[in-house]
Amino acid sequence: MKITVNVWRQKNAKTKGTIVKYNVDHVSPDMSFLEMLDVLNQQLIARGEEAIAFDHDCREGICGSCGVVINGYAHGGQQATTTCQLHMRSFKDGDEITVEPWRAKAFPVIKDLVVDRGAFDRIIRAGGFISAGTGSAPDANSTPVAKESADLAFDAAQCIGCGACVAACPNASAMLFTAAKVSHLGLLPQGQPERKTRVLNMVAQMDTEGFGGCTNIGECSAACPKEIGLHFIGRLNRDLLGASLTGGSSVD
């Protein structure tokens, strides 16, 4: 396959970026999208040009670092698929593809397709933890957990923090990410001591980071490679209201 790729190139956060067109030869339909970018980078290096910077790590849809916008869609728009899981057989020979970084005030571009997602880390640091005593691990069945709660907590915990929800949202809201992190702890007995302060602090940090407000458009859930549902935003809003009415004074 031969593919034309329009890639966002930006030297650093302080310089102006632009789209640059490249022709990529010898693309196998069995390559992942990131492997296609590897081939492009090899061709650029062979010509003495600078390689395209992009985030990647596990390349198995687990780490959440590979996010880019492909033809206007976060991760390329295929359901439950990260960029590293997207294969070139999804495209045709001669196709023209546009690749851009996440677009959000809270995700400043570092270089080319790499953005700073440290805002997510700071939201987690604001409350994404539980109180846990030191010592030997308790028996697995010492704290009963209802199956429905366990299943919902597992669904929320699948969030890999890739930022597709933010990139897909026209408001650049981080509500789905924050809701998933709040919910997977708040649904379990171990997460109850900090439940009120957790939601208050994490939502406050989310707002401080400059993410937009949620208007329930639903693009976040549609773009999420782990299919995190909008109902978790409902749970966050319910917890936030309750904590604001009864636990606001406990916020650090």
Q: Are 187 and 153 within 8 A, CB to CB?
A: yes
User: Percentage of the chain with pLDDT > 90?
Assistant: 90
* CA gap 215, 205 in Å, rounded: 19
Please tell me the distance from the alpha carbon of residue 154 to that of residue 176, in angstroms, as a whole number. Answer: 15
Domains of the chain: 3-111 (3.10.20.30), 117-250 (1.10.1060.10)
Q: What is the pLDDT of residue 248?
A: 56
pLDDT recorded at residue 225: 98
pTM of the model: 0.93
Average of per-residue pLDDT values in the chain: 94
pLDDT value at 105 more than 50: yes
Q: What is the pLDDT of residue 113?
A: 98
CB-side exposure of 154: number of CA atoms within 13 Å?
A: 7
Q: Is 133 left (phi over 0), alpha (psi -120 to 50) or beta?
A: beta
Closest C-alpha among 163, 165, 157, 246 to residue 200: 246
pLDDT of the residue at 252: 39
Pairwise CA distance, residues 63 & 57, whole Å: 7
Asked if pLDDT for residue 137 goes beyond 90, the answer is no
- Give the integer Cα–Cα distance in Å for 131 and 67: 32
pLDDT tens for 155-171 read 999 999 999 999 999 99
Number of Cβ within a 10 Å radius of residue 34: 19
In the predicted structure, residue 74 carries a pLDDT above the cut 90: yes
* Residue 134's pLDDT band (cuts 50, 70, 90): confident
CA distance 41 to 186: 44
184, 228 Cβ separation under 8 angstroms? no
**φ/ψ bin of 62: left (φ > 0), alpha (ψ from -120 to 50), beta (otherwise):** alpha
